[in-house]
Amino acid sequence: MGTHYEWKFLMKNVFKPEESLSRWIIKLANARNDLLYVTRSLIGSLERNAPLGENFYLFRLGTSHLREAIMLLYLFRNDKQVKAFVSRLSLENQETYKMIMDLNDEFNNPDSLVKGSLMPIRNNSFHYYDGEKGKPKKKFEQELIHDLSVLGDLRTSFLADGNRRTDVSYYFADEILFHLIFGAEPNDDEFNSKLRVLSDLMNNFIAFADDAVGYFLSQNRDAMMQYRTKK
């Protein structure tokens, strides 16, 4: 049985909504939680040999969260309060921050792994149909029709393993999406390689966020009540 500590506080005593640093810290913690939840789910999914579609979904979800998390740092890059706060972090954490900021350029560099591989996965996954003003984009439809036509001889399936909705697996949807993104049959080696890249990037962001949020909270410890619990 271990001893655990919990700190409780009134939000107004720690966070000042009118201060950009408070808003940044809250959103940074949001991003950290999202990436941590995806990481935990991915680990569990891989350990129990979940179907490719489930692992692939979590991979796509992680890519999307990572993109938004990096955008958060980029949007506040010139904020005076945030810049001053980051300058007070450890040199190691400042280096991690710089590395994450550099990733934003990677998202715009067509020759980078991030832009050339991770972003297409994210865009093809969460933009189910590209359009504007309530109408599909003609170019998108033409490309989709062509890509789906190429897959005409793909042998695929769906599974009904019971009477519940959760017993039905549309394998064809995952396999078609995999083909649209990678242009080939699902390949464990290729997928695992990209998964390792994503995992490293997510873990770097989580590490930075933990240090930054932890440092911010430590500066406001007088406003908190500490409770000791046993588990």
State the DSSP string of 181-204: HHSSS--HHHHHHHHHHHHHHHHH
Q: Burial level of 226, CB count in 10 A (0-12/13-18/19+)?
A: exposed
Residue 13's pLDDT is what? 92
Confirm whether 195 is domain-assigned: yes
Q: Is residue 121 within 8 Å of 60, Cβ to Cβ?
A: yes
C-alpha span between 58 and 39 (Å, rounded): 8
Confirm whether 132 is domain-assigned: no
Confirm whether 185 is domain-assigned: yes
Mean predicted confidence (pLDDT) in 97-109: 80
Confirm whether 218 is domain-assigned: yes
Q: What is the pLDDT of residues 40-81, one digit of tens each?
A: 998 898 888 888 788 888 888 898 899 889 999 999 999 999
Quote the mean pLDDT of the chain: 85
Q: Which residues pair with 8 in a beta bridge?
A: 225
Centre a 10 Å sphere on the Cβ of residue 38 and count the other Cβ atoms it contains: 22
Centre a 10 Å sphere on the Cβ of residue 154 and count the other Cβ atoms it contains: 12
pLDDT confidence band for 135 (50 / 70 / 90): confident
Which residue segment(s) compose the domain that 82 sits in? 3-127+138-230
pLDDT confidence band for 117 (50 / 70 / 90): low
Instruction: Pick the closest to residue 107 from 125, 122, 129 (CA basis).
Output: 122
pLDDT confidence band for 22 (50 / 70 / 90): very high
Residue 113's pLDDT is what? 58
Q: Is residue 28 over pLDDT 90?
A: yes
Q: Is residue 108 over pLDDT 70?
A: no
Q: Is residue 194 within 8 Å of 200, Cβ to Cβ?
A: no
Confirm whether 65 is domain-assigned: yes
pLDDT confidence band for 218 (50 / 70 / 90): very high
Confirm whether 147 is domain-assigned: yes
Confirm whether 58 is domain-assigned: yes
Collapsed DSSP state (helix, strand, coil) of residue 228: strand
Instruction: Pick the closest to residue 52 from 198, 179, 149, 200 (CA basis).
Output: 179
φ/ψ of 4, rounded to 5, equals -125, 150
Q: Residues of the chain with pLDDT > 70: what percent?
A: 84
For residue 117, the 8-state DSSP code is I
φ/ψ of 228, rounded to 5, equals -105, 130
Confirm whether 40 is domain-assigned: yes
Kind and range of the H or E element at 8? strand 3-8
Q: Is residue 9 over pLDDT 60?
A: yes
Token digits of residue 231: 């588990």
Number of independent structural domains in the chain:
1
Q: Is residue 1 over pLDDT 60?
A: no
C-alpha span between 15 and 27 (Å, rounded): 12
Of 58-72, 103-117, 130-144, the poorest mean pLDDT is in: 103-117
- Total number of residues shown for the chain: 231
